[in-house]
Amino acid sequence: MPIKIPVPERPAGSDHDTLIEQNAILRSANQNLLLATFGAEDLRDQAEAAHRRQNEFLAMLAHELRNPLAPIGMASALLGKMPNPSPELLNIKTIIDRQVSQLARLLDDLLDAARISSGKIELHKRPLRVADQLNNALETVQARLLERGQQLILNLPEEDLWISGDAVRLAQVFSNLLVNASKFTQNGGRIVLSASVLGENVMIKVIDNGTGIASDVLPTIFALFSQGPRTLARSEGGLGVGLNIVRNVTEMHGGSVTASSLGLGHGTVFTVMLPLHDAAELDVPGPADTIPGHGRHILLVEDNVDASEMLKMVLCSEGHTVVAAFDGVTGLALACSGAFDVLLCDIGLPGMSGYDLVRNMRVSTGLTAPFCVAVSGYGQVEDRTMAMEAGFDQHLVKPVDLATLLALVASAPLIVPHD
């Protein structure tokens, strides 16, 4: 008869039961981790898609807003060329110019904030004289200072100070700081702009005796869309992106920017530190050769009738001859005729894009192609890259700076025989 050996029952809470419970907990935790991982990836994809849509929207918004700004700016330029303009007319022109510049600056700041957050800002560095950079920034805000009766004191050392940087971006830094100082300083107030050497850095200060910054606002003053308390009138204006651009561009140059204030009503001090450039390494180019002032034969391809008409009038007033086309197909046919020294071409055209127009034209005309300038509302880095790859020689963003455009036109080689 077999002998049964009794197996003792495991008491509750034994090691075996504990292992089973822990295993179940681990399986559950692992499943939750997998779900969380997939959820995080999905959220990341959604965030990237939303960020991409935001940048596309901002680019389109800038394009649509720049298009009407272009003819307004051109019309204002023509007002200044009228014979014997009255003081009232000149005052109207000044107001138009100031508001167009303000709108263009707001658009640029908004787009730059998006570009910086996407890592799409590129710097084109070269040796820069600090005094030149500060004087250029002063020119952009001079009209605003005069309008508000504000006093600006410029303190620069006798010796030349040099930095290495992107002239356009650093001008944006200094002009943003000056605009900010003017905005938050009362009419008749005082602003001091100074530069000095501190160790191996150039220290640039913008000091105002304006409204100051509360202590609870100072830590976030450089954050994107950060703004201090505003009045209902919002007389200070702004989008809360200018100082964020100042910080990011300064840091991209290996520098820093700080803000300090003793509180509301006690003014503000912004301090920018940028590395000095060794003067021994400077290779400063001499003055450029003067370009003869010949009138050019210009083909203007622009589907915005008002913008086309205004630009044509400006160019003709400078002694150039202009033929206008309002779509890509007609523009291509004219461009291939070989009758033009310069092609000024929009990008978003009916029938054929500006990119395709220039590509096809260069295939047809070869070395006799005119000097090609893209004049577009699309102004992001990739837009300029696409224009260069398509065959454009230059890329300008609406509303164009007329002095820059006219200088480019005057520098274009003469292809067509001129009488």
Q: Quick check: is 47 in a domain?
A: no
β-strand pairing of 342-345 with 371-376: parallel
253 and 388, same domain (yes or no): no
| Phi, psi values for residue 194, rounded to 5° | -135, 155
Cα diameter, the chain: 133
154 and 255, same domain (yes or no): yes
Give whichever of 76-80, 198-202, 366-370, 401-405 has the largest mean pLDDT. Answer: 198-202
CATH code of 346's domain: 3.40.50.2300
pLDDT of residue 239: 53
Q: Quick check: is 139 in a domain?
A: yes
- Give residue 250's domain range: 126-227+239-281
3-class DSSP string for the chain? CCCCCCCCCCCCCCHHHHHHHHHHHHHHHHHHHHHHHHHHHHHHHHHHHHHHHHHHHHHHHHHHHHHHHHHHHHHHHHHHHCCCCCHHHHHHHHHHHHHHHHHHHHHHHHHHHHHHHHCCCCCCCEEEEHHHHHHHHHHHHHHHHHHCCCEEEEECCCCCCEEEECHHHHHHHHHHHHHHHHHCCCCCCEEEEEEEEECCEEEEEEEECCCCCCCCCHHHCCCCCCCCCCCCCCCCCCCCCHHHHHHHHHHHCCCEEEEECCCCCCCEEEEEEEEECCHHHCCCCCCCCCCCCCCCEEEEECCCHHHHHHHHHHHHHCCCEEEEECCHHHHHHHHCCCCCCEEEECCCCCCCCHHHHHHHHHHHHHHHCCEEEEEECCCCHHHHHHHHHHCCCEEEECCCCHHHHHHHHHHCCCCCCCC
- Out of 25-29, 247-251, 307-311, 386-390, least confident range: 25-29
- Nearest Cα neighbor of 141 from 193, 67, 194 is 193
Q: Quick check: is 46 in a domain?
A: no
Interval 328-342: pLDDT, tens: 999 999 998 878 999
As for how many domains the chain has, the answer is: 2
Q: Quick check: is 397 in a domain?
A: yes
**Residues 349, 329: Cα–Cα separation, whole Å:** 9
Interval 208-224: pLDDT, tens: 999 999 988 888 888 86
pLDDT of residue 291: 44
331 and 205, same domain (yes or no): no
Res. 286: pLDDT tops 80 = no
130 and 276, same domain (yes or no): yes
384 and 253, same domain (yes or no): no
270 and 302, same domain (yes or no): no
275 and 172, same domain (yes or no): yes
Arithmetic mean of pLDDT, 248-259:
94
Query: Which has more pLDDT, 115 or 93?
Result: 93
197 and 269, same domain (yes or no): yes
397 and 350, same domain (yes or no): yes
260 and 351, same domain (yes or no): no
Interval 375-389: pLDDT, tens: 988 777 778 889 999
258 and 132, same domain (yes or no): yes
CA atoms within 13 A on the CB side of 30: 6
pLDDT of residue 290: 36
Q: Quick check: is 317 in a domain?
A: yes
270 and 336, same domain (yes or no): no
> In the β-sheet with 256-260, what is the strand arrangement from edge to edge?
151-155, 190-198, 201-208, 268-275, 256-260
Interval 303-316: pLDDT, tens: 988 889 889 988 99
Q: Quick check: is 179 in a domain?
A: yes
pLDDT of residue 67: 75
Arithmetic mean of pLDDT, 93-97:
81
Task: Mention every residue, 6+ apart, whose C-beta is less than 8 A from residue 91.
Answer: none
Q: Quick check: is 369 in a domain?
A: yes
Q: What is the chain's length?
A: 419
Res. 7: pLDDT tops 70 = no
Query: Which has more pLDDT, 240 or 284?
Result: 240
Res. 275: pLDDT tops 70 = yes
Query: Which has more pLDDT, 372 or 283?
Result: 372
CATH code of 177's domain: 3.30.565.10
Res. 240: pLDDT tops 90 = no
**Residues 256, 245: Cα–Cα separation, whole Å:** 12
pLDDT band at 95 (very low <50, low <70, confident <90, very high): confident
Interval 113-138: pLDDT, tens: 666 666 666 777 889 999 988 988 88
What is the residue type of 25?
Answer: I
Q: Quick check: is 20 in a domain?
A: no
The mean pLDDT value of the chain amounts to 81
Which tokens sit at 299?
A: 């083909």
Task: Mention every residue, 6+ apart, whose C-beta is less than 8 A from residue 229.
Answer: 214, 217
